[in-house]
Amino acid sequence: MKLLAYQHEGRPGWGALIESAAGIAHVSDGIAATGGCYRSIDEVLTAGALQEVRALLANAESAASKLTTWPLADVTLQLPLQPGKLLAVGGNYGAHAQEIGMATPQAPVFFSRFADSLVAPDAALIKPRLSRQLDFEGELAVVIGRAGRHIREHDALNHVAGYTCFNDGSVRDYQKESITAGKNFFATGSLGPWIVTAEEFGDPSRAMLTTRLNSREMQRATVSDLIHSVAALIAYASSFTPLAPGDVIATGTPAGIGSRRSPPVWMQAGDRIEVEISGIGVLRNTVVEEATW
């Protein structure tokens, strides 16, 4: 399943993306299909109800007259979930660690992002008025579906609900002074466009990640190039914090970031940034200047 959150005619909802043989994508009404039991994807994950929702949506699709759908073009995508924790990893692709002058990390280097630093798919990233150095970082994000602490690496993928795209927008001059500050400017990152459930996505190491700025390819790598695998990241994160349904782990970015180009390439107002991951889709955002307060 591809689970997404949206607004339709001003009303919030969530559902599944249905792609027809004709190539037309529609959004099903998950609230109606589940009889109003779950008001958000967050509630589905907390209840451990993915299998139930899959069955309910399948039943609704088999009775087409009972399934409320809208064309994807008629809805406004929202953040697919509100992460309880968003843990991100630095220097987790070898070529990226090399380009930033970082020794190969023996353990994952984690930091966190605040919820209000994220915007929805197709929404605007805000270029801070305090800096010219807004950079892009395309990443695979892992959505936790089953709670756990001290999870063993061999069992870690059983705790995954699904996967989505992440743009870890970073304000580089502030990041030099404080990772927390540089990674948490308001509305500088994004998540989406939807969550592809784990059984549909399959082996995350096979996925290809591509980042494009104004249609120019800036980053490309397979997830198999990670220094610390998805399973290893989950296991390590669970050693210091309990993981809960709806938590998100962003797995790191490949080489090609703007700050390490010559000359540097920063995101500017009017730019369009895309993070594409095979098996998921494309997370698109534009960039705007921060308004004067």
CATH of residue 271: 3.90.850.10
Is pLDDT above 70 for 24? no
Q: How confident is the model at residue 100 (pLDDT cuts 50, 70, 90)?
A: confident
Q: How confident is the model at residue 52 (pLDDT cuts 50, 70, 90)?
A: very high
Domain boundary among 78, 98, 122: 78
Per-residue pLDDT tens over the stretch 218-263: 999 999 999 999 999 999 999 999 999 999 999 999 999 999 999 9
> What's the pLDDT at 40?
96
What is the domain count for the chain?
2
Average pLDDT on 199-203 reads 97
Enumerate residues 6+ apart whose C-beta is below 8 A from 61.
18, 28, 67
163 shares a domain with 143: yes
Q: How confident is the model at residue 18 (pLDDT cuts 50, 70, 90)?
A: confident
Q: Identify the H or E element spanning 32.
A: helix 30-33
Is pLDDT above 60 for 22? no
Give the pair of three-digit tokens for residue 122: 């197709």
Q: What are the backbone dihedrals phi and psi of residue 87, each rounded to the nearest 5 degrees, phi first?
A: -105, 125
Asked if residues 223 and 206 have their Cβ atoms less than 8 Å apart, the reply is yes
Q: Among 81-85, 128-132, 242-246, 288-292, whose mean pLDDT is lowest?
A: 288-292
Q: What is the pTM of this model?
A: 0.95
User: What is the span of the domain harbouring residue 44?
Assistant: 2-78
Asked if residues 16 and 6 have their Cβ atoms less than 8 Å apart, the reply is no
> What's the pLDDT at 23?
56
151 shares a domain with 118: yes
Average pLDDT on 81-107 reads 92
Is pLDDT above 80 for 129? yes
Q: How confident is the model at residue 59 (pLDDT cuts 50, 70, 90)?
A: confident
Asked if residues 129 and 202 have their Cβ atoms less than 8 Å apart, the reply is no
Domain boundary among 19, 48, 78: 78
165 shares a domain with 123: yes
> What's the pLDDT at 224?
95
Q: Identify the H or E element spanning 211.
A: strand 208-213
Q: What is the mean pLDDT of the chain?
A: 94
115 shares a domain with 148: yes
94 shares a domain with 27: no
> What's the pLDDT at 204?
97
> What's the pLDDT at 101?
87
Establish whether the linkage from the previous residue to 193 is cis, with ω within 30° of 0: yes
204 shares a domain with 67: no
